[in-house]
Amino acid sequence: MTCRQGNGFVVLRPEGDLCEGPESDRVEAALAAWVGQKRCVIVDLSRTRQLAARGLGILVRAHQESMGHGGRIGVCGATALHLWMLRVTCVAKFLAVYKTKAAAVAALSGRTVS
């Protein structure tokens, strides 16, 4: 997983599948660390092939925690399968999903995309 900080936001990019395993554990720990700091966190799924129930649960919990601390969570780089999974589980109804990282950064930081 890579982690890049910007002005008021953090981009996490998992390098593996978000199902049971060490990559999910790393993402969960990173999200737990950032959401309590009133940060906007973007999870870039562009290098993630599988998004299973464990990954969805991590995103949902992080969203709930961030809302309680004044932060925001967004997802970008989702494949068609990721989008389907987010929609069918209704996670996309409350978790912001953006097509690109630039769109996510702009929306979560209050800027416009050029």
Q: pLDDT in tens for each of the 114 residues of the chain?
A: 888 987 778 999 998 888 888 889 999 999 988 887 878 899 999 999 999 999 999 999 999 998 888 888 999 999 999 999 999 999 999 999 999 999 998 888 765 444
CATH code for the structural domain at 2-109? 3.30.750.24
* Closest listed residue to residue 31, CA positions, set 7, 11, 54: 11
Neighbour order of strands in the sheet with 72-76 = 2-5, 9-13, 40-44, 72-76, 96-98
CB 23 within 8 A of CB 15: yes
pLDDT of residue 114: 42
CB 54 within 8 A of CB 22: no
Residue ranges covered by each domain of the chain = 2-109
pLDDT of residue 20: 84
pLDDT of residue 111: 57
Task: Name the maximum alpha-carbon separation found in the chain.
Answer: 38
pTM of the model: 0.89
pLDDT of residue 96: 93
pLDDT of residue 8: 77
